[in-house]
Amino acid sequence: MSDDSFLFYQSRSPRPFLDHGEGIYLFDESGKRYIDGSSGAMVSNIGHSNPRVLAKMKAQMDKATFGYRLHFRTRPSEELAAKTVAMTPEGLDRVFFVSGGSEAVESATKLARQYALTQGQESRYKVISRFPSYHGCTLGALALTGYAPLRDPFAPMMQAMPSIAAPATYLDRDNLSEDERGLKYAELLRDRIIEEGPDTVLAFLMEPVGGASTGALVAPDSYYGRVREICDEFGVLLIYDEVMTGAGRTGKFLAAEHWGITPDIVALSKGFGAGYAPLGAIIAGAHLVDPVLDAGGFLHGFTYAGNPMACSAGLAVLEEIEDQGLIDNAARMGEVLMAQLHILMDRYPFIGDVRGKGLLTAFEFVADRDTMAPLPPEMDAYARLVELAYERGLIIYSRRTRGGTAGDHFLLAPPLIITEAQIIEMIAILRDALDAFAEETGL
Ligand code: PLP
């Protein structure tokens, strides 16, 4: 917010006016160029101003920009649903469109609840989530979000749902193997379901690779399969929040594919519309959706859901992802980026961890690598490095790590079209910013 603006957002720090985008770059009105190192908020997966996508959107715009879904079926929404199912692993074959991530998470939990009702399971209403986690800012999604600074100010107007610890194994100092650690964290879910009473638990909600709240946290491989087993044991539905990880960002269309998991419901947004339109979706198995339809229909829907403009953009985005082989590129470039992050970690003692999957990567600052103690929160390192990078023409994304009260992590998640040379260019700017940070702080 600045003095000449009527808009209000979170930050009071004035930013320059955006002029235009091109590929991985954004330009402000003064002509300054920025590498979009975080795809905005992990959104612009196919880069900016893709001419083929714009042409397809324009063609739809010339025909009709809106047709209410109760009045008409539209070709773009049908085609996007079919394409989404085709790109998604088997077992997830029904699609419901929304306009963003929070809507997708809320829609997923409502679908789960309605399905449970068709099964005579009225007592199941609790959704267990994890902390830290981020699932959205609407009140329902916030109630499932494990990020204190965003959630707590709104308590007790929302009933907070139960949560268990996310597997932040990089902080653990036990003698367990990675596999054993994964199982240890999965058992937290089993214990919690039993504690809550299995017949009250509707679903378990998780980000397969953590996003803004944890900084690209990946669990040990053993975690994913065991969580699926535990959900099956108790008839608890497994909801994957792939709002950030979906649509190819981690090197698979869904991150779930890395572990061969079929969730019951998946929430998608961000890279699905890739910044060309506000778009999200839930994808679920027919075995779950059909009983709801048979019982009278899903009691849910947003006015803008499935509108032809947004869906024509989404369809064009998925076609680009396929035609340009962007999912494979995300996997390959993810490895290049991760190798570069390890080099940075060797150079800066205050980088305590680097992690991620595909092109969803992060590094975290610490005061001490042995104890993984965070830097003092009053240093605001998470905000400072972002500014130093921004001044130098690189956009990165940062948050507090440890539940929102301390810790500093930085997400590097460039558009999936990035080349190796552009990664080197991005890292050079980041190194310059890190040098400045080290000099300023004496770290
Ligand atoms: N879920 C995850 C994993 C997210 O990262 C986000 C946004 O950052 C959301 C849900 C909420 O999405 P939106 O901001 O589009 O409502």
CATH number of the CATH domain containing 368: 3.90.1150.10
Ligand 1 near 99 CB (within 6 A): no
If you count them, how many residues does the chain have? 443
Residue 13 within a domain: no
Q: Cis (ω within 30 of 0) for the bond into 374? A: no
Q: Please identify, among 323, 347, 375, the residue that sits at the C-terminal boundary of a domain.
A: 323
The residue ranges of the chain whose pLDDT is under 70 are 1-3, 10-13, 157-158, 160
Ligand 1 center to 245 CA (angstroms): 10
Ligand 1 near 100 CB (within 6 A): yes
Do residues 264 and 163 both lie within one domain?
Answer: yes
**pLDDT score recorded for residue 157:** 63
Residue 10 within a domain: no
Q: Quick one: which atom of ligand 1 is closest to the CA of 105?
A: 10
Ligand 1 near 243 CB (within 6 A): yes
Task: Quote the domain boundaries for residue 437.
Answer: 18-50+325-441
Q: Please identify, among 289, 323, 357, the residue that sits at the C-terminal boundary of a domain.
A: 323
Tens digits of residue pLDDT in 127-162: 999 999 999 999 999 999 998 888 888 887 667 678
* Cα–Cα distance, 256 to 312 (Å, whole number): 26
Contacts of 336 (CB under 8 A, 6+ apart): 420, 423
> Residues 67, 69, 73, CA angle at the centre, nearest 5°?
80
Residue 6 within a domain: no
**pLDDT score recorded for residue 10:** 67
Please state the domain count of the chain.
Answer: 2
Ligand 1 center to 105 CA (angstroms): 8
Give the end-to-end CA distance of the chain in Å, rounded to a whole number: 32
Do residues 170 and 90 both lie within one domain?
Answer: yes
Do residues 40 and 99 both lie within one domain?
Answer: no
Do residues 316 and 201 both lie within one domain?
Answer: yes
Do residues 104 and 194 both lie within one domain?
Answer: yes
Do residues 251 and 389 both lie within one domain?
Answer: no
Ligand 1 near 101 CB (within 6 A): yes
* Cα–Cα distance, 225 to 183 (Å, whole number): 9
Do residues 227 and 374 both lie within one domain?
Answer: no
Residue 7 within a domain: no
Do residues 34 and 94 both lie within one domain?
Answer: no
Tens digits of residue pLDDT in 296-310: 999 999 999 999 999
Helices (H), 39-74: 39-42, 51-63
**pLDDT score recorded for residue 223:** 98
**pLDDT score recorded for residue 75:** 96
Q: List the residue whose alpha carbon is closest to atom 15 of ligand 1.
A: 101
Which of 10, 44, 241, 243 most suits a substitution to test ligand 1, by most atoms within 8 Å of the C-beta? 243
Model's pTM, two decimal places?
0.96
Do residues 254 and 399 both lie within one domain?
Answer: no
Ligand 1 near 275 CB (within 6 A): no
* Cα–Cα distance, 157 to 279 (Å, whole number): 28
* Cα–Cα distance, 208 to 245 (Å, whole number): 8
Ligand 1 near 360 CB (within 6 A): no
Do residues 283 and 301 both lie within one domain?
Answer: yes
Q: Please identify, among 323, 344, 370, the residue that sits at the C-terminal boundary of a domain.
A: 323
Ligand 1 center to 120 CA (angstroms): 31
Ligand 1 near 102 CB (within 6 A): yes
**ipTM higher than the 0.85 cut:** yes
Residue 180 within a domain: yes
Do residues 374 and 416 both lie within one domain?
Answer: yes
